[in-house]
Amino acid sequence: SSLLLMAGIMVAVGLCRRLTRRRLRLHPRLCTFLLEMFSTFQICACTNELCLLGNVEPKPHTALTLTYGFTVLHGLTLPGSTCNPCGTLQPMWAGGTSVKMGGLKIAAQFVAAVLARGFMHFIWSLEMAETHFGALSQDCSNPMQTTEMQAFCIELLFSVVFQLTILRVESINPKYKVHLIAFLITMLVYAGGNLTGAIFNPALAFSLHANCFYDKFLSYSLVYWIAPSLGKFLILSVF
3-state secondary structure at position 122: helix
pLDDT at 108 (0 to 100): 97
pLDDT at 173 (0 to 100): 87
Residues 6 or more apart whose CB falls under 8 angstroms from that of 199 comprise 143, 155, 205, 208, 224, 228
Report pTM.
Answer: 0.93
Q: At 231, which CATH number?
A: 1.20.1080.10
Under a CB-based contact definition with an 8 Å cutoff, are residues 52 and 132 in contact?
Answer: yes
Evaluate if residue 139 carries a pLDDT over 80.
no
The residue that leads in pLDDT, 34 or 99, is 34
pLDDT in tens, 48-60: 999 888 777 778 8
* Domains of the chain: total: 1
Domain that holds residue 170: 2-238
The residue that leads in pLDDT, 235 or 20, is 20
Burial environment of residue 108 by CB neighbours within 10 A (0 to 12, 13 to 18, 19 or more): buried
Evaluate if residue 239 carries a pLDDT over 80.
no
pLDDT at 161 (0 to 100): 93
State the CB neighbour count (10 A cutoff) for residue 134.
Answer: 10
What do you get for the CA distance between the two ends of the chain, in Å?
44
pLDDT at 45 (0 to 100): 96
Evaluate if residue 89 carries a pLDDT over 90.
no
pLDDT at 140 (0 to 100): 66
Burial environment of residue 164 by CB neighbours within 10 A (0 to 12, 13 to 18, 19 or more): middle
pLDDT at 138 (0 to 100): 62
Mean pLDDT of 99-125: 94
